[in-house]
A and B are shown apart, each in its own frame.
Chain A
Amino acid sequence: MEMNQLPFFLFAAIAVLASLGVVGQRNPMHSVLLLIVSFGALAGLYVLLDAPFSAVTQIIVYAGAIMVLFLFVVMLLNAHTEDDSPGARREPWVYRAFVVVSLLLGLEVAWALSGLGLASFSTDPGTVSSISSVATIGVALFTKHSFAFEVTSILILVSMVGAVVIARKEP
């Protein structure tokens, strides 16, 4: 499987631009929609990485369920515009420090990656078919990681009950 550069850069550009839109948009409704676009681009990247199950699960869980929840809350709270209260402006030195720190972090990541060398993916068809097969994921999920799987079910139950209790109107 020789990954072409074009699909990767296309999906990467969509993901980055949509995420920038999420962070930079005034209207929270548009932020939610742009995040859905970003999730779609990430699902495309997962397909490029021979992980169709992860791609489809990403669409079902993130773009299809969590974002609908966000959308409902945005509509319920009528969160149209940004709450730009006056005390929110920061002094200039905060922004300059932020830029310097992020440049330092970027340089650190680049240095770490240069030590890695050019790490290309293996194109062995046996590996590819075993990674993209849902049966392999199922077997590993229910044998090696079965404890985490059961704990996750309790976690979801707790969060469901918790969300209902916290958001309940006082009678």
Chain B
Amino acid sequence: MVTLNHFLILSGVLFAIGTVGVFLRRNLITILLSIEIMLNAVNLTFVATGRYVGTVDGQIITFFVMTVAAAEAAVGLALVIALFRHRETLSPDAFTSLKW
């Protein structure tokens, strides 16, 4: 029997993997991909909880999360392109000139 707990644990694991990716990777594009993994884990939680409660609201929230993720990915990638034009590198350690 698959219960809500299974889905919550799975989405927790996916969220953790995404967080690890954001912290430990030194490549701007991989950081953005890890953010997408985190958003997907949250989507899974919403749909599973929506199914548990018995309403359709979970799916509607995921609809909006997907839209926001698309907008954020577009702007994030535009920023990556602009940054790459500046420094010819994709490592976030090259953009530390505002660090004190």
Would you call A120 and B54 a contact (CB within 8 A)?
Answer: no
| Interface magnitude class on chain A | 35 or more
Would you call A22 and B33 a contact (CB within 8 A)?
Answer: yes
Specify which chain A residues have a CB less than 8 angstroms from the CB of B54 in the assembled complex: 122, 124, 127, 131
Do A85 and B18 contact each other (CB < 8 Å), given the known contacts A23-B25, A54-B47, A148-B64? no
| Most chain B beta carbons < 10 A, residue from A5, A19, A51, A136 | A19
Do A79 and B90 contact each other (CB < 8 Å), given the known contacts A15-B14, A62-B69, A152-B64? yes
- Indicate whether A100 reaches chain B with its CB closer than 8 angstroms: no
Specify which chain A residues have a CB less than 8 angstroms from the CB of B55 in the assembled complex: 131
Could you tell me the distance between the alpha carbons of A120 and B14 in the complex, rounded to whole angstroms? Answer: 21
Minimum CB–CB distance for A143 against chain B, Å: 11
Q: What number of B residues sit within 8 Å (CB to CB) of A? A: 71
| Of A15, A42, A66, A106, the contact of B69 (CB 8 Å cutoff) | A66
Would you call A85 and B47 a contact (CB within 8 A)?
Answer: no
Specify which chain B residues have a CB less than 8 angstroms from the CB of A130 in the assembled complex: 56
Do A65 and B29 contact each other (CB < 8 Å), given the known contacts A22-B21, A88-B93, A120-B4? no
Could you tell me the distance between the alpha carbons of A79 and B80 in the complex, rounded to whole angstroms? Answer: 11
Could you tell me the distance between the alpha carbons of A46 and B57 in the complex, rounded to whole angstroms? Answer: 14
A-B residue pairs in contact (CB < 8 Å), sample of 28: A3-B2, A19-B18, A22-B33, A23-B18, A23-B21, A31-B33, A42-B40, A46-B44, A48-B2, A49-B7, A51-B58, A54-B43, A54-B47, A57-B66, A82-B26, A83-B27, A109-B8, A119-B4, A122-B54, A145-B60, A145-B64, A148-B64, A152-B67, A152-B68, A159-B70, A159-B71, A167-B77, A167-B81
